[in-house]
Amino acid sequence: MSTGSFGFLGLGIMGTPMAKNLLAKGFSVTVWNRDSAKCASLVEAGAKQASSAAECVEASSITFAMLADPAAASAVVFGPKGVLEAMTAGKSYVDVSTVDDETALKIGEAITAKGGRFLEAPVSGSKGPAEQGQLIFLCAGDETLYSEITPQLDVMGKKSFFLGAVGAGARMKLVVNMTMGSMMGAFCEGMALAEKSGLEQSQLLEVLDLGAMANPMFKLKGPSVMKRAFPPAFPLKHAQKDMRLALALGDQLGQPLPVSATANEAYIRAKGAGHGDSDFAAVYEAVQTKP
C-alpha cells in the first residue's frame, strides 16, 4: 500500500464513472463490488480488483464507498470481510453514499474507533455529472482528510463544501433531494394536467423554460416524460429512499413537511407499480392517468 492508493467500493450508476475519472487522472485505484461482474470495465480501465471490501481497504490508504442506502452502507462496513476488518490507523474512509445522519455517525464512530479517519461526502448531481466530473460534494467529518483529498474530489466534482461534524453532510443531501423530489412530483403533475386539458406538453416545457421556474431538471427530464421513457440516471427507488429519510428527519425534529410527504406517496405508488429501477422522473407514471 502506498499513500496514493485509493479504494472504491460500489460500482453502480454513480460509482463506476467516479472511479473511472480517478483512473483517468492517473490515480491508482482498487475496486470492489458485490456483483463482481461490474468490476470488469474498471479493470479494463486500469483498476485492480479486490475480492472483498476488506481486501480493498487493505490495499488502499483512502477508500471511497458509493452504496445504495443505509442498509448497504452498513453491510459493507460491518459485515463479514467488510471495511472494519481491515481498518487501521493511517487508513481513511470516505462514504459518498446517500444515507441518514444516524447511519453516517454509526459508520464514522466505528471507523475512528479502529484508528481510521472518516469523512461523509454525499454528492449532488447524477449520472451525467458523475461522468463529466461535475458532482457537488457535501462533506463533513475529518477536516484534515477533507483537505487531503481535495485533488480527488476535484477530479470527480466541480465544487466541494465542508459542512462541519459528521451528520451535516447527510442532512444537507436529504434536504436537497427532498426539495428535488417534491419539485419533480409537481412538474409531473403539471405535465399530466397539461396533457389532460388538451395542451401540448412541449409548449408547457417552453413556457416553463422562459420564466422564473426555468431549471436544468425540467429541461433534462421533460423530454423523457413526454416520451414516457425513463432510462435510469437517478433510480426512483433511491429517490423514494431519500424522501423517506428526509421525512424521518423532519419527524425527529418536529418539522412539518406536508408537501414532501404527499410527493413521497407518489414515489411509493410508482415503486409499487414496478418503476423502482426506472429514473425518478417515472413518478409521472403514478400521477398520469389515461385521458
Ligand X SMILES: NC(=O)C1=CN([C@@H]2O[C@H](COP(=O)(O)OP(=O)(O)OC[C@H]3O[C@@H](n4cnc5c(N)ncnc54)[C@H](OP(=O)(O)O)[C@@H]3O)[C@@H](O)[C@H]2O)C=CC1
Which residues are tagged catalytic? 173
| 125 touches ligand SSN by CB under 6 A | yes
Stretch near ligand SSN under the rule CB under 6 A, chosen from 102-110, 124-132, 182-190, 253-261: 124-132
Q: Kindly state the smallest distance separating residue 37's Cβ from ligand SSN, in Å.
A: 24
Return the number of the residue (63 or 124) whose C-beta is nearest ligand SSN: 124
Q: How far apart, in whole angstroms, are the C-alpha atoms of residue 281 and residue 277?
A: 11
Figure out which of the listed residues 55, 58, 69, 95 binds ligand X, where binding follows CB under 6 A.
Answer: 69
Stretch near ligand X under the rule CB under 6 A, chosen from 13-21, 189-197, 201-209, 218-226: 13-21
Alpha carbon separation from 89 to 92, 97, 111, 119, 158 (Å, rounded): 8, 23, 9, 15, 30
Figure out which of the listed residues 7, 8, 11, 19 binds ligand X, where binding follows CB under 6 A.
Answer: 11
Return the number of the residue (42 or 123) whose C-beta is nearest ligand SSN: 123
Region class of 27: left (phi > 0), else alpha (psi between -120 and 50), else beta: beta
| 250 touches ligand SSN by CB under 6 A | no
**Of ligand SSN, ligand X, none, which one does residue 261 interact with (CB within 5 to 8 Å by kind)?**
none
Q: Kindly state the smallest distance separating residue 93's Cβ from ligand X, in Å.
A: 15
Please identify the residue of the shown chain whose CB is closest to the bound ligand SSN. 126
Q: How far apart, in whole angstroms, are the C-alpha atoms of residue 81 and residue 9?
A: 13
Distance from the Cα of residue 49 to its chain's centroid = 23
**Of ligand X, ligand SSN, none, which one does residue 15 interact with (CB within 5 to 8 Å by kind)?**
ligand X
- According to CB under 6 A, which residues from 58 to 117 bind ligand SSN? 98
C-alpha neighbours within 13 Å on the C-beta side of residue 9: 31
- Residues in binding contact with ligand SSN, number by CB under 6 A: 6
Positions touching ligand X (CB under 6 A) are: 10-15, 33-35, 38, 66-69, 72, 75-76, 97-98, 123, 126-127, 233-235, 238
Positions touching ligand SSN (CB under 6 A) are: 98, 124-126, 177, 234
